[in-house]
């Protein structure tokens, strides 16, 4: 991490097993790359799990032993696990005015119906490439139900944007794809999440990267990503009644107070946002805007936010 390094010594008995595990995982990844096949990190655990010789000792007892080895390899060879042909769970959908090529198949994301294109885990250039598009920006939406509203209302068609949903905390594939859209197509990225500590954290992960994957932030994070809501001050601005508010619990308050100390939330406007949430003792889901009308979020709320440049960075 940064200038810090971890060393392992081959002739240290306590590190011998870790060395063996590292070479087992490395060998399995090389076989995947050579064969042109991919597999899940769960599959990899079973592929490399076996008894050592005539002993009763196993190469791996649980998956939580093999997963850190994958992270070590990512750092050591400066590659994403997806480039090592390993994938995580698929989650996320995308539609918009863009044509892509996925494993040789040309797909028009303007014609994806109600479900959208399922974002795969591996979205590197050798798998996914971008073609013709008319998009002006990318909108990442936290929740599937809200994404469905945007898709059904054809928000992306009226506003010439790509809408992506991450199903809560966006998985690696979604984050990497959004980062590529931003970097390669020069598209601004806006993030629409719930007004609660977890929504704010999702935004921070898109902007700064996650703590666990800090070593891959340069290829997953979008430092220029903008937060378009829900804001702690939107209750008053958009006349949301108390009946749609959710009371902050102890876990919410503790999490919010922790976030106040995060370096990336030190800016005055973020301090105000989080402090207001704690002060009011209330949080709001994106669906609370439906109290103003089923399509209020797509027809009035977000268009006004973007027109007024009412976002946080």
Q: Smallest Cα–Cα separation from 69: which of 47, 36, 91, 38?
A: 47
46 a catalytic residue: yes
Q: Which of 89, 85, 111 is nearest to 98 (CA)?
A: 111
- CA pair distance 96, 76, nearest whole angstrom: 37
Q: Among positive and negative, which fits the CA dihedral 147, 150, 152, 155?
A: negative
51-84: burial string, b at 16+ Cβ within 10 Å, e else: eeeeeeeebbeeeebbbebbebbbeeeeebbbbb
Name the DSSP letter for residue 120. Answer: P
Structure tokens, 197: 């500590």
Give the active site residue among 9, 45, 46, 155. Answer: 46
Name the residues annotated as catalytic. 46
């Amino acid at each position: 991490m940064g200038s810090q390094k971890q060393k392992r010594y081959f002739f240290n008995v306590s590190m011998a097993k870790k060395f063996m595990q590292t070479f087992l995982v490395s060998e399995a990844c090389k076989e995947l790359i050579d064969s042109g096949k991919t597999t899940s990190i769960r599959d990899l655990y079973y592929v490399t799990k076996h008894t050592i010789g005539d002993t009763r000792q196993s190469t791996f007892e649980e998956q939580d032993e093999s997963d850190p080895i994958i992270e070590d390899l990512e750092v050591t060879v400066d590659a994403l696990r997806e480039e090592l042909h390993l994938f995580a769970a698929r989650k996320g959908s995308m539609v918009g005015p863009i044509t892509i090529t996925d494993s040789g198949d040309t797909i028009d994301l303007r014609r994806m119906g109600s479900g959208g294109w399922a974002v795969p885990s591996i979205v590197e250039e050798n798998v996914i490439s971008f073609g013709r598009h008319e998009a002006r920006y990318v909108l990442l939406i936290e929740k599937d139900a809200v994404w469905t509203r945007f898709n059904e209302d054809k928000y992306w068609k009226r506003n010439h944007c790509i809408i992506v949903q991450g199903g809560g905390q966006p998985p690696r594939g979604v984050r990497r794809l959004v980062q590529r859209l931003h970097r390669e197509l020069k598209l601004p990225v806006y993030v629409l999440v719930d007004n609660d500590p977890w929504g704010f954290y999702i935004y921070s992960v898109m902007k700064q990267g996650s703590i666990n994957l800090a070593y891959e932030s340069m290829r997953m994070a979008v430092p220029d990503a903008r937060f378009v809501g829900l804001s702690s001050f939107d209750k008053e601005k958009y006349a949301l009644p108390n009946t749609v508010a959710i009371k902050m619990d102890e876990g919410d308050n503790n999490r919010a107070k922790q976030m106040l100390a995060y370096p990336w939330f030190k800016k005055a406007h973020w301090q105000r946002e989080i402090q207001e949430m704690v002060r009011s003792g209330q949080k709001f889901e994106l669906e609370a805007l439906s109290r103003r009308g089923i399509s209020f979020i797509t027809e009035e709320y977000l268009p006004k936010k973007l027109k007024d440049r009412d976002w946080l960075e």
